[in-house]
Amino acid sequence: MSVQRYMVGKRAMWRVRWREPNGTMRSKSYPTKAQADREDARKRAEKLLGHTPQPVQQRRTLGHAWEEWWQAKAPDKAEATRRSYLGLWRANIESQLGGVLLSDLVADPSLLNELQKSMNARGVGKQSHRRTLVILVMLLNQCVGWKWISENPARGIEKPPVGPRGRPASVLAACGRAYPG
Protein backbone atom coordinates (compact mmCIF):
# COMPACT_ATOMS: atom_id res chain seq x y z
CA MET A 1 0.00 0.00 0.00
CA SER A 2 1.20 3.45 -0.79
CA VAL A 3 0.10 7.06 -1.18
CA GLN A 4 1.37 8.92 -4.22
CA ARG A 5 0.95 12.51 -5.34
CA TYR A 6 0.15 13.28 -8.98
CA MET A 7 -1.01 16.33 -10.90
CA VAL A 8 -4.21 16.82 -12.87
CA GLY A 9 -3.61 20.08 -14.66
CA LYS A 10 -2.49 22.48 -11.92
CA ARG A 11 -4.25 20.55 -9.18
CA ALA A 12 -2.59 17.95 -6.93
CA MET A 13 -4.37 14.63 -6.35
CA TRP A 14 -3.44 11.73 -4.09
CA ARG A 15 -3.61 8.09 -5.13
CA VAL A 16 -3.80 5.17 -2.68
CA ARG A 17 -2.59 1.87 -4.17
CA TRP A 18 -3.03 -1.63 -2.75
CA ARG A 19 -3.12 -5.25 -3.84
CA GLU A 20 -6.27 -7.38 -3.55
CA PRO A 21 -6.03 -10.93 -2.08
CA ASN A 22 -6.17 -12.37 -5.62
CA GLY A 23 -3.13 -10.27 -6.62
CA THR A 24 -4.93 -7.55 -8.58
CA MET A 25 -3.56 -4.04 -8.11
CA ARG A 26 -6.16 -1.42 -7.14
CA SER A 27 -6.04 2.32 -6.61
CA LYS A 28 -8.32 5.15 -5.59
CA SER A 29 -7.74 8.89 -5.89
CA TYR A 30 -8.48 11.60 -3.30
CA PRO A 31 -8.35 15.40 -3.49
CA THR A 32 -6.45 15.77 -0.19
CA LYS A 33 -3.46 14.00 1.31
CA ALA A 34 -5.33 13.61 4.62
CA GLN A 35 -8.12 11.62 2.94
CA ALA A 36 -5.59 9.45 1.09
CA ASP A 37 -3.63 8.82 4.31
CA ARG A 38 -6.84 7.79 6.14
CA GLU A 39 -7.72 5.31 3.38
CA ASP A 40 -4.17 3.96 3.34
CA ALA A 41 -4.27 3.48 7.13
CA ARG A 42 -7.66 1.74 6.87
CA LYS A 43 -6.36 -0.66 4.19
CA ARG A 44 -3.25 -1.44 6.27
CA ALA A 45 -5.37 -2.09 9.39
CA GLU A 46 -7.68 -4.42 7.44
CA LYS A 47 -4.67 -6.36 6.22
CA LEU A 48 -3.12 -6.63 9.71
CA LEU A 49 -6.42 -7.71 11.29
CA GLY A 50 -7.12 -10.22 8.55
CA HIS A 51 -10.28 -8.45 7.43
CA THR A 52 -9.33 -8.32 3.80
CA PRO A 53 -12.29 -9.02 1.56
CA GLN A 54 -12.33 -12.42 -0.05
CA PRO A 55 -11.77 -12.48 -3.81
CA VAL A 56 -14.92 -12.29 -5.86
CA GLN A 57 -16.00 -15.82 -6.71
CA GLN A 58 -15.62 -16.24 -10.42
CA ARG A 59 -18.40 -17.93 -12.30
CA ARG A 60 -16.50 -20.98 -13.50
CA THR A 61 -18.31 -24.00 -14.85
CA LEU A 62 -17.20 -27.61 -14.65
CA GLY A 63 -16.62 -27.41 -18.41
CA HIS A 64 -14.23 -24.48 -17.96
CA ALA A 65 -12.46 -26.38 -15.17
CA TRP A 66 -12.13 -29.39 -17.50
CA GLU A 67 -10.51 -27.23 -20.20
CA GLU A 68 -8.00 -25.79 -17.73
CA TRP A 69 -7.32 -29.19 -16.16
CA TRP A 70 -6.93 -30.78 -19.60
CA GLN A 71 -4.38 -28.15 -20.65
CA ALA A 72 -2.44 -28.57 -17.40
CA LYS A 73 -2.58 -32.35 -16.90
CA ALA A 74 -3.22 -34.10 -20.22
CA PRO A 75 0.28 -33.58 -21.65
CA ASP A 76 1.69 -35.69 -18.78
CA LYS A 77 -0.61 -38.65 -19.56
CA ALA A 78 -0.06 -41.47 -22.02
CA GLU A 79 -1.90 -41.20 -25.33
CA ALA A 80 -4.27 -44.08 -24.48
CA THR A 81 -5.08 -42.47 -21.12
CA ARG A 82 -5.82 -39.12 -22.78
CA ARG A 83 -8.14 -40.78 -25.28
CA SER A 84 -9.90 -42.67 -22.49
CA TYR A 85 -10.32 -39.56 -20.28
CA LEU A 86 -11.61 -37.48 -23.19
CA GLY A 87 -14.07 -40.18 -24.26
CA LEU A 88 -15.42 -40.62 -20.74
CA TRP A 89 -15.71 -36.84 -20.26
CA ARG A 90 -17.63 -36.41 -23.51
CA ALA A 91 -19.84 -39.47 -23.07
CA ASN A 92 -20.70 -39.24 -19.39
CA ILE A 93 -20.00 -35.82 -17.87
CA GLU A 94 -19.91 -32.98 -20.39
CA SER A 95 -23.56 -32.93 -21.49
CA GLN A 96 -24.97 -33.26 -17.97
CA LEU A 97 -22.54 -31.27 -15.80
CA GLY A 98 -20.33 -29.30 -18.21
CA GLY A 99 -22.43 -26.14 -17.89
CA VAL A 100 -22.92 -26.36 -14.13
CA LEU A 101 -21.17 -23.71 -12.03
CA LEU A 102 -18.56 -25.13 -9.67
CA SER A 103 -20.16 -23.19 -6.82
CA ASP A 104 -23.52 -24.87 -7.58
CA LEU A 105 -21.87 -28.28 -7.59
CA VAL A 106 -20.38 -27.64 -4.14
CA ALA A 107 -23.71 -26.28 -2.86
CA ASP A 108 -25.72 -29.20 -4.29
CA PRO A 109 -23.68 -32.43 -4.44
CA SER A 110 -26.88 -34.31 -5.33
CA LEU A 111 -26.07 -33.32 -8.92
CA LEU A 112 -23.40 -36.02 -8.76
CA ASN A 113 -26.01 -38.56 -7.70
CA GLU A 114 -28.06 -37.53 -10.74
CA LEU A 115 -25.01 -38.17 -12.91
CA GLN A 116 -24.68 -41.65 -11.46
CA LYS A 117 -28.39 -42.38 -11.99
CA SER A 118 -28.07 -41.19 -15.57
CA MET A 119 -25.09 -43.48 -16.20
CA ASN A 120 -26.99 -46.43 -14.70
CA ALA A 121 -30.06 -45.65 -16.83
CA ARG A 122 -27.93 -45.53 -19.99
CA GLY A 123 -26.35 -48.87 -19.14
CA VAL A 124 -22.81 -47.54 -18.67
CA GLY A 125 -20.61 -50.45 -17.56
CA LYS A 126 -19.29 -50.59 -14.02
CA GLN A 127 -15.68 -50.05 -15.06
CA SER A 128 -16.54 -47.00 -17.21
CA HIS A 129 -18.83 -45.70 -14.46
CA ARG A 130 -16.00 -46.04 -11.95
CA ARG A 131 -13.39 -44.41 -14.20
CA THR A 132 -15.76 -41.51 -14.93
CA LEU A 133 -16.09 -40.85 -11.20
CA VAL A 134 -12.31 -41.11 -10.74
CA ILE A 135 -11.84 -38.45 -13.45
CA LEU A 136 -14.43 -36.24 -11.77
CA VAL A 137 -12.70 -36.59 -8.39
CA MET A 138 -9.30 -35.73 -9.93
CA LEU A 139 -10.74 -32.72 -11.75
CA LEU A 140 -12.47 -31.36 -8.64
CA ASN A 141 -9.37 -32.03 -6.49
CA GLN A 142 -7.46 -29.78 -8.88
CA CYS A 143 -10.17 -27.12 -8.56
CA VAL A 144 -9.66 -27.21 -4.79
CA GLY A 145 -5.91 -26.90 -5.36
CA TRP A 146 -6.49 -23.88 -7.60
CA LYS A 147 -8.75 -22.48 -4.83
CA TRP A 148 -11.70 -22.29 -7.20
CA ILE A 149 -13.80 -24.27 -4.71
CA SER A 150 -13.38 -24.85 -1.00
CA GLU A 151 -14.07 -28.60 -1.01
CA ASN A 152 -14.44 -31.47 -3.42
CA PRO A 153 -18.11 -32.49 -3.59
CA ALA A 154 -17.12 -35.78 -5.28
CA ARG A 155 -14.72 -36.88 -2.54
CA GLY A 156 -16.11 -39.96 -0.86
CA ILE A 157 -18.71 -40.59 -3.57
CA GLU A 158 -19.57 -44.25 -3.67
CA LYS A 159 -18.24 -45.92 -6.78
CA PRO A 160 -19.80 -49.09 -8.18
CA PRO A 161 -18.00 -52.28 -7.18
CA VAL A 162 -15.99 -54.01 -9.85
CA GLY A 163 -15.52 -57.74 -9.44
CA PRO A 164 -12.42 -59.65 -10.41
CA ARG A 165 -11.74 -59.63 -14.11
CA GLY A 166 -12.57 -62.91 -15.80
CA ARG A 167 -9.80 -65.02 -17.24
CA PRO A 168 -10.13 -67.31 -20.22
CA ALA A 169 -11.18 -70.85 -19.30
CA SER A 170 -7.98 -72.27 -20.85
CA VAL A 171 -5.80 -70.22 -18.46
CA LEU A 172 -7.88 -71.24 -15.46
CA ALA A 173 -7.88 -74.88 -16.51
CA ALA A 174 -4.10 -74.79 -16.91
CA CYS A 175 -3.82 -73.46 -13.36
CA GLY A 176 -6.11 -76.22 -12.07
CA ARG A 177 -8.91 -73.86 -11.04
CA ALA A 178 -12.55 -73.98 -12.01
CA TYR A 179 -13.92 -71.19 -14.20
CA PRO A 180 -15.77 -68.69 -11.98
CA GLY A 181 -19.09 -68.61 -13.82
Lowest mean pLDDT among 77-81, 87-91, 167-171: 167-171
If one counts every other C-beta atom within 10 angstroms of the C-beta of residue 85, the result is 22
Residue 55 predicted with pLDDT over 60 = no
pLDDT tens column, 58-77? 689 999 999 999 999 999 99
pLDDT reported for residue 79: 95
Residue 124 predicted with pLDDT over 70 = yes
Supply φ then ψ for residue 150, to 5 degrees: -85, -30
pLDDT reported for residue 56: 47
Structural contact between residues 72 and 142, judged by C-beta atoms closer than 8 angstroms? yes
Report in angstroms the alpha-carbon separations of 122 from 116, 128, 145, 151, 166: 10, 12, 32, 29, 24
Q: Where are the domains of the chain?
A: 2-49, 59-181
Residue 33 predicted with pLDDT over 70 = yes
CATH architecture of 59-181: Orthogonal Bundle (1.10)
pLDDT tens column, 142-152? 999 998 888 99
